[in-house]
Amino acid sequence: MAVRLVAIDLDGTLLHDDMTISDYSRNVIRKAQSQGYEIVVATGRMWDSARKKAETLHLGNVPLICYTGAWIMMSETGEPVRQDGLSPDLASEILLESKRRGWNATSFMDDVIYMDKPNGTEEKYQKYRSKKPVYIGAEFYHPDKLVTRIVFADPSLEKRLAIRQVVEEKFKGQVDVVFPGDDFVDVHKKGINKAAAVRFLCDKKGITPEEVMAFGNTENDVPLLQMAGLSYAVSNADEVAKEAARAICPSNEDDGVAKTIEKVLL
């Protein structure tokens, strides 16, 4: 079956390690769009950060999947297509648990980054963000609105595994937890992922999963790579993404996404 929609992750997949998109990749992706392929950026980034990267592709006002599928927004107008997240009560339980255990926690609400207080991680992770955190003290642990996601950060894999185990056991059936790369542990409402977001867009256009081509590199891409009829993990991807994908393509540094689109579709 022919490909009709191409879903592309950003960090570690389309973006080079210096967070740029090559002119070659940009031109190939725009050519694919001009030939009738639907192009969808599907990223774990927050909306404002994702939008600024998507703008450089010059695709027009197209759906942009961010927060690993929790939000779908129109890339130019900012019109929300779908927004979901953790209920205030559930988010509060998770955040209070993190406080008891001394985890470095960050929450995202209405595309704003919130923290209790500075914890020394901000500068290291700013490369993924377009905004600075807002520090709100004790209020951080008692959100009064939908929390798009909660992120824990720790450079130790052992500690990240421990955080994940606690969250998955204590909040079983209520959340999905993934390692999206770097030092992060992402916590979303159960059922939120890139595959569900892409499927939502496909349903609106009468596109089947078999007509989707997808690219990714980490665990938060796994459901999408498994769903798509044609899926690729870049050669620099985590093993879990490589196992989920149907094929391997050249690395992000070698413009693997664009080379594959050019070879297979153009």
Residue ranges per structural domain of the chain = 5-83+192-264, 88-189
Between vectors from CA 132 to CA 100 and to CA 237, what angle results, nearest 5°?
80
CATH class of residue range 88-189:
alpha beta
Determine which helix (DSSP H) or strand (DSSP E) holds 8, and give its type and residue range. strand 5-8
**Spatial CB neighbours of 14, under 8 Å, sequence gap ≥ 6:** 8, 21, 25, 41, 215, 252, 257
Burial of 102 (0-12, 13-18, 19+ CB in 10 A): exposed
CA atoms of 149 and 159, how far apart (whole Å): 19
What pLDDT does residue 18 have? 92
Residues with pLDDT less than 70, the chain: 1, 122-128
CA 85 to centroid of chain Cα atoms: 14
Which tokens in the block code for residue 228?
């798509």
CA atoms of 62 and 137, how far apart (whole Å): 37
What pLDDT does residue 75 have? 93
Structure confidence by residue, pLDDT tens digits, 91-127: 999 999 999 999 999 999 999 999 998 877 766 666 6
Neighbours of 17 (CB within 10 A): 11
The superfamily (CATH) of domain 5-83+192-264 is HAD superfamily/HAD-like (3.40.50.1000)
**Numbers of helices and strands, H then E, in the chain:** 9, 14
CA atoms of 195 and 58, how far apart (whole Å): 24
Which tokens in the block code for residue 14?
């389309």
- The pTM assigned to this predicted structure is 0.91
What pLDDT does residue 122 have? 65
